[in-house]
Amino acid sequence: MKATYQKYLLNFKQPSGTSRGILKTKETWFIILSSQGKKGIGECGILRGLSIDDRPDYEMQLKYTCENIDKGLNFLLKENIEFPSIQIGLEMAFMSFDAKDNFELFPSKFTKNQASIPINGLIWMGTEAFMKQQIQDKIEAGFKCIKLKIGAIDFETELGLLKNIRTHFSESDIELRVDANGAFSPDNALEKLKRLRDYKLHSIEQPIKAGQFDEMKKLCELTPLPIALDEELIGVFSTEKKIELLQTIKPQYIILKPSFIGGFAGTDEWIALAEKQNINWWITSALESNIGLSAIAQYTYLKNNKMPQGLGTGGLFANNFKSPLQVKNGTLYYSINHWNFNL
């Protein structure tokens, strides 16, 4: 078997704002396996500035991985324990190689276009007018769950946006989630959570920066609305550390980005550990191309989690690969199996 890797730069249709700045492009990498006319494709969904494997030796590790592909998947997953985006790329590539269809990795009613996955509509940060327009567009598109990224503009303005939604739509009409991406400080987080409570939110993701265990534990004890850990899970490699994190902080939810937490095997482990402690969860993509997004969506469907998942990012890029993924009425479908994967 031969393995090669290649970089691909995804271009946002319009710059997308987060609390860490404006995103215009998104780098991704592909591992391609080939042997006797068969092929396998896997996406290594790294996100610079956030992924734990955003390291100077990333490409060197990809090269090493491809040069040692004959040592097999299990060996290479262990060798890439600190490179979760390469782990998921490997899992996808080997599954793709073995599959009848390179892109149908987890056959199900979803891939047969007999079922869909409810997803949240994502509202990117920007001016008040820009965010209002996005909210209106998502509601008109049939989304029943909307997630707003907050923390980059004035907090009072963000509260005003939430108030405006709740003026027109009740809790039963629209589920509201917010993602602070660690933007609040431990000193003012609880007060901000108390003010956010008025708008009957489903949850808030990562109110304070990751790594502040004592502060996050206290917030989860006192919070007036459910807290979901996101960045907190990144870089936690051992089972013991995962158990310690969940038992210490006791969050209401965890959010699982397979490209950040050890691929499908890593996600399976987080789910099992969380469910033992009655902690709920949902799965989110991390700005992968349609190759990675499709694999994560297929995997997610088989997990049978009825909550809206965070899988609606495929339409963000101008140069994404043509795929069967379609969003209709706030749900993700896998329609006619038509792919166009050209690097």
Of 68, 98, 128, the last residue of a domain is: 98
Residue 110 lies inside a defined structural domain of this protein: no
- State the Cα–Cα distance between residues 72 and 15, nearest whole angstrom: 40
Domain containing 69: what range? 2-98
Backbone angles phi, psi at 85, to 5 degrees: -70, -30
Specify the pLDDT at position 27. 95
Domain CATH for 326: 3.20.20.120
Based on the fold, state whether residues 193 and 273 are members of the same structural domain: yes
Active-site hit among 138, 144, 149, 192:
149
d(C-alpha 60, C-alpha 80), whole Å: 12
Tokens 């946002």 correspond to what residue? 12
pLDDT tens-digit series, residues 209-254: 999 999 999 999 999 999 999 999 999 999 999 999 999 999 999 9
DSSP string, 301-343: HHTT--SPBB---GGGBTTPPB-SEEEETTEEEE-S---B---
Of the three residues 67, 98, 129, the one that is the final residue of a domain is 98
216 and 313, same domain (yes or no): yes
Q: Characterize 284-303 residue by residue with b for buried, 16 or more Cβ atoms within 10 angstroms of its Cβ, and e for exposed.
A: bbbbbbbbbbbbbbbbbbeb
Same domain, 143 and 267: yes
In a domain, residue 152? The reply is yes
Q: What is the pLDDT of residues 178-211, one digit of tens each?
A: 999 899 999 999 999 999 999 999 999 999 999 9
Residue located via tokens 């793709």: 96
- The pLDDT, as a whole number, for residue 253 is 98
The answer as to whether 257 is a domain residue is yes
- Same domain for 83 and 121, yes or no, is no
The residue type of 85 is: S
**Same domain? 127 vs 76:** no
Q: Kindly report which listed range (71-80, 118-127, 195-204, 259-268) carries the lowest average pLDDT score.
A: 118-127
Q: How far is CA 166 from the centre of its chain?
A: 26
48 and 157 in a single domain? The answer is no
Q: What 3-state DSSP class applies to 86?
A: helix
286 and 145 belong to one structural domain: yes
Active-site residue, 71 included: no
- DSSP one-letter string for 80-126: TTT-HHHHHHHHHHHHHHHSSSTT-SS-STTTTTS--EEBPEEE-B-
**With 80 as the cut, is the pLDDT of residue 117 above it?**
yes
26, 138, 144, 257: the active-site residue: 257
Residue 31 within a domain: yes
Of the candidate ranges 84-93, 135-144, 216-225, the one whose mean pLDDT is the lowest: 135-144
% pLDDT > 90, the chain: 83
Are 162 and 303 within one domain? yes
Give the total number of structural domains in the chain. Answer: 2
pTM of the shown model: 0.95
Where would I find the H helices in 210-311? 213-222, 239-249, 263-276, 290-302
Residue 111 belongs to a domain: no
Give the tokens for residue 277: 């402690």
User: In the annotation, is 306 catalytic?
Assistant: no
